[in-house]
Amino acid sequence: MNLSPLQKARYAYKPKLPGMLRNGISEICVKDGAATESVADQDKIKALFPNTYGKNEITFEKGTNTSAAKKQVVGVILSGGQAPGGHNVVCGLYDAIKATDKNNVLLGFKGGPSGLIDDDFIEFDDEYIDAFRNTGGFDIIGSGRTKLETEEQFKIVTEVAKKHGLTAIVIIGGDDSNTNAAVLAEYMAANNTGVQVIGCPKTIDGDLKNEDIEASFGFDTATKTYSELIGNIERDANSAKKYWHFIKVMGRSASHVALECALETQANICLIGEEVAAKKMSLSAIADYIADAVEKRGNNGENFGVAIIPEGIVEFVPEFSMLIAEINELLAGKKTEEFNALPDWDSKYEYIKKGLSKEAFDVFKILPDFVQKQLFLERDPHGNVQVSLIESEKLFSALVADKLKERKANGSYKGKFAAQHHFFGYEGRCAFPSNFDADYCYSLGYNAFMLIQYGYTGYLSKVSNLSKPAEEWVAGGMPITKMMNMERRNGEDKPVIRKALVELDGKPFKYFCEHRDEWAVKTAFTYPGAIQYFGPSEVCDLTTRTLALEKG
C-alpha cells in the first residue's frame, strides 16, 4: 500500500492520555461518585432498566488496581455515521486490553450491529491495529445503522457472545446507538449472561453531550474541516466581491456544527435552528433577516457574503414542520403508491392542493418549485419526508432573491445579488482526526476497558475537563440511563437518550449574539486554515470555540 507522508507521520503519533491513565493498568483505582437518575421520566426509565438504573458515576484515580483478574474477550462495533477518531477508540481499547494481559482478545464485528447478529468478525492483532492508528474513517471494521432492539436480536447476540466467550461488548456510536447499548446491557444483566456492555459517545453533530459528556468525538475535527473550507470561501468572496455563498453544514437535529463554524469564521449570517423554533420564525421572516444583511452590505458596495445554514433548519420552522406533518399524513400507507402513479407534476400538484389544509398549502405554494418536488422524493423507512434531501441552502437564497427584487423595486436596495451554493457533510466525517480527537478517542477506548475490567455495564466511557491539557483530563464513567427520557417514536413511547440542542442561554450562543450584528454588515471574516498536526500546542491541540467558551 502506498502511503502519503502525512499517513506515515500520523501512524507514528503517540496519543496523549489523561494523567491517571498514564500510570499503568496496575495503578488505576476507582472513586465512586453520586448515584444517578435519568434526565426525565425517572419512574418509567427505572421500571424499564431495573438492573442498570441509578448506578453511581465513577472516576479513575491513581492507586492500587483492585479489579479481579480474568481473561477478557471483548467485542467492539462501530455504529451509525462515520466520525473522525473512531479508529483511535478501537486502538485505545486494544492497547488497554493487551497491556492488562497479552492473552486477552479483541474481536471487531464488521458492518456495525449487524456484524454481531451475523457473527461476522475479525480478531485484532498488532499488525492489523497499527495500520489504522490516528487515521480517519471507520474502514477498520466498517459501520452500519441496524438497531439492536428486539428480543430475537438480543437472543442471537447472546448466542454469538456465548460462542466466542465474550465478557464484554463495546458499542461506539451516537445517541440511538448508545440507547441500544443501554437496552442491550439491561437484557444481558437481566438474563445473567455475564456480558458487560459499554458505550462510547460519537457524533460530529455535537448533540450527544451533557454536564458529564463535554463533547462527542469527531465534532472537533469535522467542524475544523468545515471551518477551513468556509474560511477559504470567505477569502474567495472577499477577493471576487460578487457572490453570496449559502453553505449548508451537517446537523439534522441540532445546530452545534453551524454555530461552531460561525464562531470559527465569523461568517455574515448563521441560522440557529433552536433560535428559529424559540422565536417561531417563519420562512419569510428568516428570508427578511438574511436580506437585511445583503441589503446593508450591497448598499455599502459589498455585494458578497457568506451564510451558514444547518442541515435540519426547516424542521425548526413551525409552519414548515406543520407542512411536513400534513404531507406525511397525506402519503401515509398505500397513498404513496397512489400519488406516485399520477402522470405528471401538474396532477400531483392538484392532489397536494386538495389534500393539505389551507394553512399548509399557503406555505407550500410560496416554496420554489424545486423544493416543492424535493418534499415528495423517496420517503424514509418510516414513510416520512426525508428532510435531509431538501436543499435548504438553495431554498433560502431563492427566498432572499425574491425579497431583494421587492426592495429593488421600492428603491431601498441598490446592490447586486448572485448566489453560490455548497453542502459540507461527507467532507468532514472521515478526515484525519485532529490531535484533540486522536487523544480524546484513544482515551475513550482505553478508559472503556478500565470500565470493563472493574465490572461495570450499561456505562458510557467518559473523559472530561477537556478544555485543559490532556494531562489534566479526568477519566471515568456514567450510567447511560442518566441521559435518557421517554419520547414518542413511531406511535410508541420509547426510552431514548435526549439529544442536546444548542442552549440559547449558553455561553457559545450568547457570544455569537453579541457579535453577529457586526459580522452581518462588516467583512470581519477569519480564516482558520487547515488542521495543524505539528507545531506549538496552542495551535495543534486547540479545542473548539464551543468548548473553550463553555468551560471558560
DSSP sequence for 68-79: PP---EEEEEE-
Residue 356 sits at φ, ψ, to 5 deg, of -95, 155
Q: How far apart are CA 250 and CA 265, in angstroms?
A: 16
Nearest Cα residue to 367 out of 307, 284, 257: 284
Q: Output the DSSP codes for 522-548.
A: S-------SPP-SS-HHHHT---HHHH
C-alpha cell at 306: 457568506
Q: Do 253 and 120 form a contact (C-beta atoms < 8 A)?
A: no
For 220, the 3-state DSSP assignment is: helix
Pull the grid cell for residue 326: 400534513
Q: Do domains 30-132+150-218+433-494 and 222-429+506-533+540-550 have the same CATH topology?
A: yes
Residue-level pLDDT at 509: 98
Closest to 336 in 3D by CA, of 376, 374, 381, 365? 376
The residues assigned a catalytic role are: 205
CA dist., res. 349 & res. 372, Å (int): 9
Low-confidence stretches of the chain (pLDDT < 70) are 1, 381-383, 490
Residue range 222-429+506-533+540-550, CATH number: 3.40.50.460
Q: Half-sphere exposure of residue 204, counting CA atoms within 13 Å on the CB side?
A: 35
Q: For residue 367, count CB atoms less than 10 angstroms from its CB and return exposed for 0-12, middle for 13-18, buried for 19 or more.
A: buried
Task: Determine the pLDDT at residue 504.
Answer: 98
Cα–chain center distance at 494: 21
pLDDT at 221: 98
CATH number given to 30-132+150-218+433-494: 3.40.50.450
Domain boundaries, the chain: 30-132+150-218+433-494, 222-429+506-533+540-550
State the pLDDT at residue 382: 62
Residue 545: all three cell numbers together? 470555540
Residues facing 31 on adjacent strands: 59
Q: Which residues contact 527 (CB under 8 A, 6 or more apart)?
A: 231, 232, 234, 235, 265
**Dihedral (C-alpha) 202, 121, 180, 483: value to the nearest 10 degrees?**
-30
The residue whose grid cell reads 455495564 is 457
Collapsing DSSP to helix, strand or coil, 383 comes out as: coil
Is 406 exposed, middle or buried, given 0-12, 13-18 or 19+ CB atoms closer than 10 A?
Answer: exposed
